[in-house]
Amino acid sequence: MGIKVTVNHNRCVGSRLCVGFLPDAFKLNGQGQSELITTGGVNAEEFVQTAGQCPQSAIKVEDAETGEVLFPPAELEM
């Protein structure tokens, strides 16, 4: 399954947890916020796990074909 991962910079506080858990997929930008490097080599489940570690629920994981949101669940939306 192809996935789409986005980081919401109106929510990201730069905890670096995603970088710690998936260093090949995330890096910090010049503002100290997280940015996706690539979705390659990481499966959807790992992205969902890591997105769940974000204290701000700033990482959104979607099915690239259907647009189905795999994370965060609706109740975590602010």
Binding test (CB under 8 A) with other proteins, winner from 1, 20, 43, 68: 20
Residue in 50, 68, 49, 72 with CA at minimum distance from that of residue 60:
72
Nearer to other proteins, 44 or 54 (CB): 54
Tell me if 31 contacts other proteins by CB under 8 A: yes
Instruction: Indicate the SS3 state at residue 62.
Output: strand
Residue in 13, 10, 1 with CA at minimum distance from that of residue 70:
1
- Per CB under 8 A, which region of 5-13, 36-44, 60-68 contacts other proteins? 5-13
The beta-strand segments (E) located in the chain are 3-7, 26-28, 34-36, 59-63, 69-71
Binding test (CB under 8 A) with other proteins, winner from 3, 4, 36, 53: 53
- Per CB under 8 A, which region of 26-34, 35-43, 59-67 contacts other proteins? 26-34
